A and B are shown apart, each in its own frame.
Chain A
Amino acid sequence: MRILKDALARRAMGLVAALPGVLVLLILVGLFLKSKAILGVEPLSRLLFSSAWYPLKGQFGLLPFITGTLWVTVTALVLAVPVSILAAVYLSEYAPSWARESARPAIDLLAGLPSVVYGVWGVLLVVPFVGGVLAPLAGVQSSGYSILSGGIVLAIMTFPTIIHVTLEVFASVPRSLREASLSLGATRWETTRHVVLRKGAQGILAASVLGLSRAFGETMAVLMVVGNVAAAPRSLFDAGYPLPALIANNYGEMMSVPRYDAALMTAALVLMLIVLFFNVLARRILARVEKRAR
C-alpha cells in the first residue's frame, strides 16, 4: 500500500516536472502558429528589416521597433554594467561585513519593485531631468520622453540581476588566491584586478548577458518613459518605440485590422527568441564557470 502510494506519487510528480519543458514548447508553438498568417504572405526579411510601419495599408515593418529596443537596451547596459560590477567589487572585496549584510535586502528590494513603480518614478523624476537638465546641457530640444530616460530607468532595474550574479561569481573565487596575491605585496585593487576580475571574467560576462535579456523584455517601465514614436531614433534624446511597448500598446485594437494581430505575434516571437538565445548563452557560460570552480 505504501509502496503503491510512493509509485503513484513518483509518476504524478514526474508528470508535473515535465511541465516547464512542455510550457516552453507550447509558448513557441503558440506564437509561431499565430504569426503564420503573416509569415506566409510577407517575406521574413521584409518584416524584420523594413521600416515602413503602416498597419492600415498592410505594411508591417518591424525595424523601427527592433532598433528602438536595441537603443534602449544598449543605453541601459552601458550605464548598468560598470556601476553594477564596481558595486559588486566594493561589496565583495572592500566593504566591511555589516555593509555587505545590509546591502543585500536593499538589492533584493530593488529587484522586487514592480515595473509600473519604476515607470511612475521615471515619469516623475527621470523624464523631467532628461528633458530639463541633460538635453539643454547637450544643446538639444527634448520632451524628456526619450531613449535616454528609458535607458536610465532600465539600468536601475538591471542593477540587481547583474550585481547578484557577479557577487556569486566573486564568491566562487578561492580566498587563498586572494591571500597569495596580497602576501606578495599587491594592493587590494591589484588583487581584485589581476585575480578576482580575471578569474571571474566569464562569470561577469554571463551576468551582463542575463542583465541584457532582462532588459530586453521589460515592458511597462520603458513604455511609460520612452515616448513611443514609431521611427528609428537618431539620438539618445529622441523618442523610441521598443518591441514590448508595441505589443502592449496595440493589442486591444489589433483585431479590427487584418494581419495586425499576426504582425504583433511575430514581434512577440522575435522577442521570445532573442531573449531565449541570450538566456541560454548566459546559463551555458555560468554552468561552465561552476564546473571549473569545482
Chain B
Amino acid sequence: MRTVADGRLGRRKRADLFFRVLAAASAVAVLLSLVLILGTILWKSVPALSLSMLTQTPRGGFYLGKEGGILNAILGSLYLAAGATVLAFLLSLPIALYLNIYKGRASKAAAWTRFFLDVLWGVPSIVYGVFGFIVMLAIGLRASLLAGILTVALLELPIMCRAIDEVMRLVPPELKEASASLGATRFETAMRVMVRQSAPGILTGVLLAFGRGIGDAASVLFTAGFTDRVPTSLADPTATLPLAIFFQLGTPFPEVRQRAYASAAVLTLIILLISLAGRAIGRKATRHVVK
C-alpha cells in the first residue's frame, strides 16, 4: 500500500520537476535569443566599424565598397525620429490629459479613444507607410524629411499615448481632489499636478516611442526617400539608418555587406542607449513626485 502511494507521489514529483525544467528552459531560450542577436550583430560588425564610418557621408562608389561612412543615415534618422517624437508628444499629451482629467474612468468617450489607440497600436508599420504615401501625394508633398516625420509621428502616437495614459492612471485621485479643493481649475490641475506627478513616466514613454521611431524601416520606405547628403531643410529627402542597413545588405559586395552589419550595430547601440536611459530616468527622476 505504502509503496503504491510513494510511487504515485514520486510520479507527481517527477512531473513537477519535468515541467519546472521545461519552463526554465523556455525562459532561458528567450533570453538566449536576445544574447545571440546582440552577440552576432556586434561581433560581425567589428571588422567594418571605424571612425570614418560614423563621421563621413558616402563618397563616390560607396555602395561598391569605396570610401565613406553612414553619417547621412545616422543624422537623418536622428532628425527624423526627433521631429516625429516632438510631434507625437504634442498630440499625445493632450489626449492622455483629456482621458484622465476631463473624462471619468468609466466614460464612453474615453473607452472609445482607448479602443482606437489600441487599434492604431496594432496597425503594421507598412500600412502607415502606405497611408503616409497616399497623404503625401494628396497634398502634393515629395518624399522628404517632413513626410517621413509626419508618417513616423503617426506610428509613434499610439505607443506614446498608451504609455503616458498608463502612468497618469496611477496618479492617486486624492492629489487631483486636493488640487481641486484649493480652487484650481481642471486645466491647472492637469498642468501643475498631473504632468509634474507623472513626468518620469512620460519621459520613459517618449523615449520608448523615439526608439520605435528610429528603428522603423517600413514606414519611411516610401515617405522619407534616400540620399547621400545630410538634409538641410524639411523639404529635403533624407537617408535613414534602417534603410541604409537594408540597402547595403542588398548589394553583392562583401565590403558593403560588412558595413550593413556595422550599421546594424550602430542602430542597436542607439536602441540600447535609449533603453538604458529610460530605465535610469524611471529610477532616478522622481524628485518632484509625491508618493
Contact = CB atoms under 8 A, between A and B. Distances in A.
Interface of A: 2-3, 5-6, 9-10, 12-14, 16-21, 23-24, 26-27, 30-31, 34, 82-84, 86-87, 89-91, 93-95, 99, 103, 105-110, 112-121, 123-125, 156, 159, 163, 187-190, 192, 210, 213-214, 216-220, 224, 244, 247-248, 251-252, 264-265, 268, 271-272, 275-276, 278-280, 283
A86 B7 CA distance: 27
B133 A251 contact: yes
Contact of B117 (A20, A82, A219): A20
Nearest to B186: A6
Contacts of A3: 185
A21 B108 CA distance: 13
Interface string B197-228: 00000000000100110111110011000000
A242 to B, nearest CB: 10
A268 B29 CA distance: 34
A221 to B, nearest CB: 9
A33 B261 CA distance: 40
B275 A17 contact: no
Interface in B94-120: 94-95, 97-99, 102, 109, 112-113, 115-120
A217 B215 contact: no
A156 B246 contact: no
B253 interface: no
Contacts of B274: 112
Interface of B: 12-13, 15-16, 18-20, 22-27, 29-31, 33-34, 36-37, 40-41, 44, 91, 94-95, 97-99, 102, 109, 112-113, 115-127, 129-131, 133-135, 154, 157-158, 161, 185-188, 190, 208, 211-212, 214-218, 221-222, 242, 245-246, 249, 260-261, 264, 267-268, 271-272, 274-275, 279
Nearest to A18: B113
Contacts of A159: 30, 33
Interface of B is mostly: helix
B91 A27 contact: no
A17 B27 CA distance: 39
B34 A106 contact: yes
A34 B131 CA distance: 10
Contacts of B129: 248
Given A87-B29, A275-B122, A112 B20 contact: no
A250 B234 CA distance: 26
A218 B2 CA distance: 57
Given A10-B102, A14-B98, A214-B122, A121 B127 contact: no
Given A31-B134, A89-B26, 19 more contacts: A24-B116, A30-B134, A86-B23, A108-B275, A109-B271, A112-B215, A119-B249, A120-B261, A121-B40, A123-B249, A125-B40, A156-B33, A189-B16, A189-B18, A210-B122, A213-B122, A224-B246, A268-B126, A278-B122
